[in-house]
Amino acid sequence: MAEECIFCKISRGEMDTDFIHEDEQCVVFNDINPKAKTHLLIVSKRHLPSLADAKDSDADLLSHMLLVAGKIAKDKELKGYRVQIHTGKEGGQEIFHIHYHLMSPF
Ligand code: 5GP
Ligand code: ZN
**100 domain residue, yes or no:** no
In the prediction, which pLDDT does 71 show? 98
What is the residue range of 91's domain? Answer: 2-95
**105 domain residue, yes or no:** no
Q: How many domains does the chain have?
A: 1
Nearest ligand, CA 9? 2
Phi, psi of 25 (to 5 degrees): -110, -25
**29 domain residue, yes or no:** yes
**22 domain residue, yes or no:** yes
Tell me the CATH number at 44: 3.30.428.10
**58 domain residue, yes or no:** yes
Please report the atom of ligand 1 found closest to the CA of residue 86. Answer: 3
**103 domain residue, yes or no:** no
Q: By the 8 A CB rule, do 99 and 27 touch? A: no
In the prediction, which pLDDT does 40 show? 98
**33 domain residue, yes or no:** yes
In the prediction, which pLDDT does 2 show? 63
Pocket around ligand 1: residues whose beta carbon is below 6 Å from it? 6, 29-33, 41, 86, 92-95
Q: By the 8 A CB rule, do 66 and 99 touch? A: no
pTM: 0.97
Tens of pLDDT along the chain (106 residues) come to 566 999 999 999 999 999 999 999 999 999 999 999 999 999 999 999 999 999 999 999 999 999 999 999 999 999 999 999 999 999 999 999 999 999 999 9
In the prediction, which pLDDT does 1 show? 56
Residue 99 known to be catalytic: yes
